[in-house]
Structure 1
């Protein structure tokens, strides 16, 4: 075997060894800052640590900082380890988030109806709790061997009353800061012109890797575009598939 071939054969092992080393360094760094952290818990297992490492381009120090921020947030914002429906009644009443089926990679599929979102009583705190509620639901539906979920953002009927800049920025922040490497793809469908004004405002706050996962779908190519990633048997009925939508709070 020549030198180049030998190097190619050994590279995957070298990469694996490097990752194992960085995982050990990350555990040590986080433990030094928070000795109460339990790495055997599902929320802090090797898969979670790898996601935070990838989100910071395998930089241990940056990943450690991000993890500590996440741990602190979970302790203060989700002290019971979960958000109950009784904590987000106004958001659930809007009936805007559904989950059903999986894409071709096995990622759970959620559908969000933007026209059903309104700033309401309960305010920003309840909305942030709702974000944690739905993102935890989606994450718990991810099968073993997969790490991400897919979202269809449907903007049919979206108008000025649905344009919530503060809420959208909060959603971006929570997703990027506390659920790194969870988002697989976002299909934005039935996009009205009015939404593009909001998009220009929020786009700079979305990191470049996340922006690459957002696909704006043309109305006349909706069905065929979704079918590229989702089998008809797993696609919601409203998009020509076979599955009924299930409210995420009932999943």
Structure 2
């Protein structure tokens, strides 16, 4: 099929070479193009994971400890990033953890100001509280909302954040610290929660998310004014948080987007590029419904879910049963808890600071 049509999964591959990337309207959903062993490949995961754990023990790590990032979910991400080569996965893991500890990222996440966390959440893809048909958390990002003016106002405000100024020993800029805090939320709350929810394959924990990136209404001028911000975020995620993307659906691409894609595609490695699928406005809703149940897809994108940009997560009934304490009952209805939160061993930990005072509320099943 030609440009402007959606093929059956796997019919039109997106070439890892950015100069040959598919035009908007073409889609590739064939896992075979990724050149990475399938996580379900028989005889691949278990031996590689066991060897990586053995190597970690030799290096003094305590394995199977979520607090030390040596849980299976995390280790599988690094194995996938290195094509299930345990030695190379160990090197990348060690480098990432050393950086994380040197900058004390977990501590910042636990102690950051809740209001500033919410300001940062509005600048990046947001979890809608739902999952795709494979169980991956769904994030949505309408790029048109990220204007140069909005970005400038955010950077100015976040630079005055008291918790980032006081955070030591990190020399990261306040906006960088807050960006990493969002990934801590992904790793310490979203992934553990969705891994406990029913899905087709319960044998492997969830370690990746599905993104819908809406580029409708974005002009070349707007994109050019925010490109460095987007590029830095993409590069940082690739280095420090490998293999956290399952699929990225780029929808609503205007006619000129092919020239922009030639620039954007160079930000990613070939494996990541193979996960990005470009869809035109006319076909996006139908394709999204192939991979996301309408009940878990916002109305704007062809589903029936009541969720709009900047809304807090709208959890499904299965998630509500596990973390119902995240909802505060008010006269205006139920409000999802704001700020940093951790889900570990079935327990919820509400963290962060409010007016300089730590919030430490734990809820565990009886």
TM range (shorter): 0.7 to 0.9
Per the alignment, residue 219 of structure 1 pairs with: 281
Match of residue 323 from structure 2: none
Which deviates more from structure 2 when the two are superposed, residues 68-77 or residues 152-161? 68-77
Q: Which runs of 4+ in 1 moved over 6 A?
A: none
TM-score norm. by structure 2 comes to 0.56
Match 2:222 to one of 134, 157, 161? 161
Structure 1 residues 77-92: aligned runs within 5 Å: 78-80=105-107, 82=109, 84=112, 85-88=114-117, 90-92=119-121
Superposition CA RMSD, Å: 3.0
Relative to structure 1, the CA distance from residue 15 to residue 137 in structure 2 (aligned partners, 3 Å threshold; closer, same or farther) is closer
Q: Distance in 2 between matches of 1:177 and 1:95?
A: 18
Could you tell me how far apart the structure 2 residues matched to 1:137 and 1:54 are?
Answer: 21
SS at match of 2:288: helix
The answer as to 2:82 corresponding to 1:61 is no
**Which ranges of structure 2 fall in alignment gaps of 5 or more residues?**
1-40, 157-171, 196-204, 314-336, 340-366
Q: Structure 2 vs 1, CA of residues 154 and 27 (structure 1 numbering), >3 Å: closer, same or farther? A: farther
Tell me, what secondary structure is at the counterpart of 1:243?
coil
Please point out which of 243, 268, 273 is paired with 1:181.
243
The structure richer in helix per residue is 1
Map 1:78-227 to 2 at 5 A.
78-80=105-107, 82=109, 84=112, 85-88=114-117, 90-92=119-121, 97-118=126-147, 119-121=151-153, 122=155, 125-139=173-187, 140-142=189-191, 143-144=194-195, 145-159=205-219, 160-163=221-224, 164-227=226-289
Q: 1:156 to 1:129 in 2, by over 3 A?
A: farther
> Quick check: 1:95–1:247 contact (8 Å CA) kept in 2?
no
Residues 145-198 of structure 1: CA deviation (Å, up to 9, x unaligned): 322211100112212234322222222222222222221101101112454443
1:72-118 CA-to-partner distances (Å, cap 9, x unmatched) read 33220615152644445654465863523111011111111111123
Task: Tell me the equivalent position of 1:39.
Answer: 63
Does the 8 Å contact 1:88/1:127 carry over to 2? no
Question: How many matched pairs?
Answer: 235
Deviation of 1:19 after TM superposition, in Å, equals 3.7
Q: Distance in 2 between matches of 1:199 and 1:69?
A: 30
| Alignment correspondent of 2:27 | none
State the alpha-carbon separation in 2 of the partners of residues 180 and 99 from structure 1.
22
* Structure 1: runs of 5 or more not aligned: 1-10, 32-36
SS in 2 for 1:109: strand
Q: 1:193 to 1:110 in 2, by over 3 A?
A: same
